[in-house]
Structures are given as structure tokens and as C-alpha cells.
Structure 1
């Protein structure tokens, strides 16, 4: 009871609209509202939701107007049914994507049974939207079951029953995934999710504070509270319409009346506040104890040791890397030293050989003079050859420069030619217009003769290609003219065929009607045949029964005759022969009658079967012909 009184008392002043917009409140318009514990007096409590409390909250409509609210506006609870404009930016792509993410997170967290993907939530079908709506609604009512029929009427009706402040039309349910419809449907789902979260929050508060209203949970539903609340709202709204924004006197008077109505115990509130202060001080004292300080010290030391361990591990990895690099360098230096030692041994061996050769050779002065003379002559020859080589190199350099310029010009022309040939699809050889010929100009590696020959060959191929293109162009022009004539002819044929198609459809309709009448006639004939067969079978059974009865009577008469035969055997032989002849004639007549009857029944049965089979075959043939004719008409219509 205390919790119910305090929640109503503390939450009423916040229901009034403000003229100055609150930036924090406006920033939270499109997010899920968090549960707040309103305060009454000095203790914060709350009350679980109820049907009437929800009706009272929405009695004057949503708070969509602040400073811009007109003074002469009527209250939504007493006025007409004017539509409320949705202030959410539902046509903003970023806001829509944010809502889609929140919807995906909510469905994933709550274990949605269907398949979810970002592509599905961008433009879902009506069936998927109904499944999501049913899943979210079951969070409010676990026993809810969505009907199989008239879903497009049921969903707006449920939202209206939940007092959804905006309109979701029945027509929009036929195409929920459309770009102009999905934002409104998404806004309705987000509003429903907000209601679910609010319901969860209030349910948790009810579990935490359930002992405050065990016997008087519905005390606010009385007529006295409704009268107080309506008087308070009428008075504050009247002052609001006259330009006032603060209603402290009315709030205090309303709180006083509520305290008087619910018998609020101020002493109990003060004692609980004192207990709360004492517990807070005890908690602060316990947090400042040495044991907690030592724990924090140990935790800090643990963090430092973990940091040192990470540093040591990184230093160890660096040392291992440096050791591996030193080992690689040592192995390289060892290999280089071995190679140097082997090379040194080889040089020593060569030096010894050269010294031995120098010591063993002998030259005369004449040989030395001759060698010097030959040396001078060779030096003069080298100088003259060096000069001629320099001149030849200079001439070659000049020729190479000129050749490079010519080659550069030629390369530019060849590049332009190759570019144009690629546009015309002439190169490479596998191109569309190359026809297996090589139109590419390559570098003149084999001399000028090969270049001229290649140029002549390409010119011949290009002339042939130009003539082929001109012939193809003329042929395509003629073909275009013929195709235009054919197109005109086809269009006229299409018009004719469309008329024929109308006639054929009319014939098909008449044939369908004729077929229906024939089928009904055939069914009636089959019923008649079945009745005739049944009557023939009944007649056959009757005849069989009569033959059996006659046979039984004849047997009985035979027995009686045999008994009499024993009695009158002694009377006369003539009478005996007479009796015997009579008996023989009776049996012969009965057998003949039985044979004739069976033969007549067999003939009748075979004749009935022939008539039935013949009629069925004729009807089936006629139906088959009608079906083939219908198929031919349909095929001709499809071809047209």
C-alpha cells in the first residue's frame, strides 16, 4: 500500500507538459525509456502497472506539445478523434537502420524462433512481420495466439487496444515491406518493444517491493482517488492554459490530500531514512578498513607483476631473436673464413710457381732491346687504333641517336596503329574482326625488307577487310529493310491473330460449356445404366431363387415318390412306368428351363456390357477430341 501511494504521489507532477524543451529529454525520445523510481517524501518507491493506471496516464493524450501548444486547444480525452502526427524521423535512413539494429538485438536476445538477417529486416513480408509482432506481443501476454485469418485487421486492432498513439492502417498490412510502409510498421514494433521493457522493469519492481501492497494493491482504483486526480489535473491544466508552468501549490495540496487519503505514516518514513543513513555510513566505514586496503594493494602488486612478466617475456623473445641472428652471422663468418684460407693457399702456390719460373728463365741484352722496340711499336699501334676506335664509336653514337629518333617516331605511329586496331578488334589474331589474320606490326628485327613485306601484307589484308565491311554493310542495310517490312507484316499478323485469339477464346468458352453439359449428360446416363444393371441383377437373383425353390420342391416330390414307390411297387408295373416317365419329364423340363434362363441372363449381361463399353468409349473419344482441340487452341494462343 505504501509503495502504491508513493508512486502515484511522486509521479503526477512529471505528467504535465513543459514549455521549455529539455535537451536531455528530447535526446531520449527515440530510445527505450528506463524505469525510474519516483520519490514521495524522502523514500523512493514504485507501484506495478495496472489497467486503470495506464488509462489515467494516457487520459489527456501523449505529450507532444510544449511551448508551441496552442492555448485554445481542447484536451484529447474530451475532444474529437484527431490524428496525432508522429514526431519520430521514420523517413530518416539512419534512424530506420538504428531501429532495425535494436529490433534485431531484441529478437536475438529473446530467442526468436524464425530466421533473422539484415536483408530480411530491410523489407520483410507480411507473414514475417506478423510472426515478429506475435513473438513480441507474447512477451506481454504469453497466452496470445495470432488468428490465421484477417491478420491485417487483427494487428491494428491490437495496437489500438494497447493505446498506440498513431494510426497503422489496414491497407498497409497488405504490403508491409514497401519503402513507404515499412518505417510506420517498424515504429509500431519499436513502441511495442518499449512497452515490453517497461513491463519487465515494473515487474522487477513488483518482485522487489511486493510486501508493501499485499492487501491493498488496488487502492488507487477507487472513486476517491479518481476524483482527486481529475480535480488536480483540471486545475493544473487550467493554469497551464493561462500561461503558468510551475504548479508547486497544487502539487503540495495534491500530496497532502493523498497522504490524508492513504494514511501515510511520516514517522515510519523518517525511521527508514535514518536507517538508510546509518547503513550508508556503515558501508563507507567497511570500505575504508585495512583488509580492503591490503586487498587493493595486493591487486595493484598483481597488476604490476603481470606487467613485469609481460616485459620479461618480450625481452626474452628479443634476446632469442638476437641470439639467432648472432648464430647466423657466426656461421656466415666461419664459411667466409674457410673460403679466404683456401684462396690464400691458392695464391701462395701461384706465387711459388711464378718465383720458380722467374728464377729459371734467361734473357740476353739483345732480347731485352728487341722486346722494348716491339713494345714501343705496339704502343704506337695501340694509340692509332684507339683513336680510330674513338672515331668509330662517335660515328656509331651519332647513328644510334638518329636511329633512336626514327625508331621513336615509328613506335608512336605503330602504337597509334595498334590502338586503332584494338578498337576495331583486329588484334590479336583471336579478335572478332581479325578472321585469323595477324594485323600486328612487330619490331623490324629481321631488317627493312621484312618490315616492307609485312607492311604490304597488312595493307592487302586491310583493303580486303574494308571491302568485306562495305559488302557486309550493304547486306545489313538490305537485311534491315527486309526486317522492317517483316516487322510491319508481323505487326499486322499480330493484330489479325489477336482477333483470331478472341474468337478462339469465345469458342473455347462455348466448348467448355458444351463439355460441362456433356459431362452432366454422361453422368446421368451412367446413373441410368447403373440402375438398369442393378435391376437386371435383382431379376437374376429372383430367377435363381425361383429355380432353387422349384428344384427343392422337385427333390421333395422325388423323395415322396420314392416312398410311394416302395409302397405301391407291388400294385402295378404300368403305374411304375407312368410315374417314372412323369419324373423324367419333370427333371427334363426343370433342366431345360434352368438352361434357358441361364442363357438368357448371359445374353442380357453381355449385351448390357457391350452397350456400356460402347457408350463409355464413345464418350471418352469425344472428350479426348475436345481436349486435343482445346490444347491446340491454347498452343496457338501461346504462340501468338
Structure 2
């Protein structure tokens, strides 16, 4: 941030760009004003300005038809020496000035001790130290000073101090006839320094606030206020009205944009409402869910029956296992008996007397018998192995057939083909039963699989393929509708966010407008106080000017009353318009939010129903 140029000439536009009016700098502690409002008696006559009210084209001057326009204390050059209207001979006024000066010096690190007694009649040294300290507050680079009686008048003249400070008063600065005017000048200088500090603080705060998006709108409004107020002070009503028209045009465009957005939102809401109504009128998925529940109940009963059949099969297999174990035990007993007989035959043979030829013959026969026995044993084992394999294969195939039959019956139940009174059975029983004890293939099952079951199943497949194609088309249509509903809902959310942002921005503008209006009312109230003080001062003037002053007082009072009425009417109208606009915006925001919530809820319900329908 660049350093302030303290010794430069302060122009009216520079002062008017501050956050507070420039006239506030010169106000005294006792309520007297050092601005142009307090100097109207010595001001140069200027042309009265027009009214800013939109219902009237022209009005008299802001200070009445018989009173000269007040000039700014920092405005153009005075045409002659001005008389200081401040009560310099009043002790209370001087005490307030001393108090103001001491407060500023104490708070800003004045290096020397200062007291009311010192400033009541200061020496040249004390005055020099105070002046140098105050000058350095304007410009910290000021290290050397010339003669005080030469530097002080030039410095105050550069600051556009409205009254002349003579060198003779500075030669005897502590004298009773010269010190009050110099003290008032120092007080004016302190108030100007206080104003600069407050303005710098406000400018830094406003700069940080205006960096945001919402602050951009505030910045635009502040620039409008500053520009119009500058033209107002300059008396340029044409430019002031042009700025107001531009601002009204900008607000009108924003209002049109909001109305268009509102219309689009309403159209989108109507579309969503029609979609919601259509979705509500579609068949409910509850009936389909109830039908599936009934099918599941029937399937549960069939599974229970299947479990009972499997348990019966298990018991039958256990009985067969017991029978096979009994057969095994019988075979083992037979083997033991044959072994005993064999031992007995061997013993008997051993006891028989034989010769060598018989022995050879017997050995040969035994060898032949042994070979024959081994051959028969091998054949028997092969036959037993084949029989066992065939039994295992038959049992496995029977289990597969029974499993397939059970699976077939389950699917038939799900397809509503079983029992014969089912929906798609057409009076024909499609339930398959396997007879494992059948003696012929025709008695193995109770159904003609090729002649009856398969053609019926082919017809069912064709019907289901057709229905599946239709349902797939419906599913695609529903998915497209759900996608469009989600897109529309997202657009509504975005539009709602934009509307909320606009509402917050308009609320901020409303608060700014209220603050500006209140500031304006306070300014007008201060101006009314100034006019009242002016009336009191006019009452105390010489009796020779009594007639002129009386007329001037009446004009000022009339102007004050008219201005108060105008300000009150304008403030009431502005407040009512802003309140109505805010209420409409809040109501519209609530309406849009409610509609969006309803649409979101309906869309979610539709998604749930679509998901259930897919299942």
C-alpha cells in the first residue's frame, strides 16, 4: 500500500471518496460545526441544486430560495477572508479544544508532558513542539522546519484550512487575543488526523470484505453510492440522475433474469409433476411381490416334501447296507466251512495208503483242478467286479435321474405347471415321478417326456422369450426415464443453489441499502441540527438585521421541515419496497425448496419401485 502524500492539496473528490462525509472532520466537541454548514453566512452564493426525488422534476435550492448555497470547506478557493463563526471567546469551547488536543497527543506518543495549564497559555517552545509533532503525523519524513510563523500558515493553506492564520498571531502565540484562533486551528488539524486514521481502517476492512464474490456486488453498490454522492455534493443533478438510471437499469436486468429463471423453474416443476403423476399411475410392484411370495411358499413346501423323500431313500439304503453286511457274514461263514472241509479232506488223503503212480496221478489231477479252480475264481471275480460296477453305475444314474426329476418338479412349480390345477398347466399334470423298481422303461416314469412334456415346455419357452423381450424394452424405457429424472433433479438442485446465492446477495444488498439509508437519515439529522444552530445564531445577531434574519430563519425552518418530510417519506417507501422484495424472495425460495424436496422424494420412490420391478 503506497504512503500517504500528506502535504498535497486535498481535492473535494479525494475527500468525498472516504467512508464518512468530509464535513465530519471539522465538528467541534460542543456540537458547533467547522464545515461549510457552519459557514453559510460567509459563503459565496451558488446556484441551488435540483431534487433527487423521482416524482418531481425540480425543487428549490437545498438551503432555501433566499439563502446562499453552502460551499465545502475543502472546495474552491475563497473569494475573500472568512469570519470564523466558532465561539472562540467561549471558555467551554476552548476547554473542549484543549481536551481534544491533549487526548490525541497522549494516545499517539507525544514525547513531552502536556497538561491543560500548559495549553491554556503555551510558550513559543511548547507550541513549536506540538506543531512539529502534528506535522510529522501527516508526513513522517519531515525532520527539519523553518520558522514557525512561516511554515504554519503555508501548511494550513495546503490543507485548505478555511480561515487565515496571521503571522502576527504566531509571534505572540500564547497571548489571550491570538491563542484561541490558533488553538481552534490545531483542534481542526487533530480532527483531520483522526478522520484519516478512521478512513484508512475502513478502507482496509472494506478491501478484505470486497475480495469475495458477494463483496463484488457490495463494491458495485458502494461505487454507485460514492459516485452519486460526489455528483450530489457537486450539484450536478444530470450526472447524478444518469448514475441512478444506470443502476436502476442494472437492477432491472437482474430482476428480469431472476424472473426468467423462475419461469424456467416453474416449467421444469410442471414436467416433474407430470412424470411423478405418470409414475404413480403405473402398476404397483406390490402385487408382483405378493405373487413371488406365494411361489416361494409353494417352493418351500416342495422342498420339505423332497427332504422327506430323501430321508426315506436314506433309510432304504441303510436297510440295503444291513442286508449286504448279512450277506458278507454268510459268505465268510461259508469260506470258514469250506476251509474246514478242505482240511478234513487233506487229512483223509494223508491217511490213505498210496503208491508212487497214484501219487503222481493225484498230483497231476490236483494241478489240473487247481488250474481249473483258479480260472473259475478269476472268472467269478471278474463277474463280481462287473456286477458291482454296473450296480454302482445304476445307483449313480438313479440318483442323477431322481435329482433331475426333483429339479424338474421344482422348476415346474416355479413355472406354475404343477399341480394340474396350476396357472399354466392347462389341466395336465406335469409332475414327474421316478419308479426305481420298474421292470420296463415305459414304467420307469409316469410322464411321456418326448410326446407331452417337451412340446409343452417349448411352448412355455417361446412365450417367456416374447415376454422377456417386451420386459427388456420396458426396462430400457424405465431406465431412460430414471436417468432423465436424475438429470432434472440435479438441474433443480443447481438452480436452487443459484437462487439461494441470489437471495443471499439480495439480502446483503438490502442490508447495505438500509445502512446507506440510515446513514443518509443521520446526515440529514445532523444537517437539521446545523440549521437549528444557524437559527439560534441568527437570533443573536444585531437588531439592524432582524428583518432579514427573521425571513431567513423562516426559510430555513421551512426547508428543514420539507427536508424532514421528504426524507421520512423516502425512507418509508424504500423500507417498504425492500421489505416486500425480501418477503417475495424468501417465499419463492421456500416454494422452490419444497417443490424440489417433493420431486426428490418422488424420484427416489420411483427408483425403488423400478429396482423392485427388476428383481
- Whether the TM-score (by the shorter chain) exceeds 0.5 is no
TM-score by length of 1: 0.28
Superposition TM-score, scaled by structure 2 size: 0.29
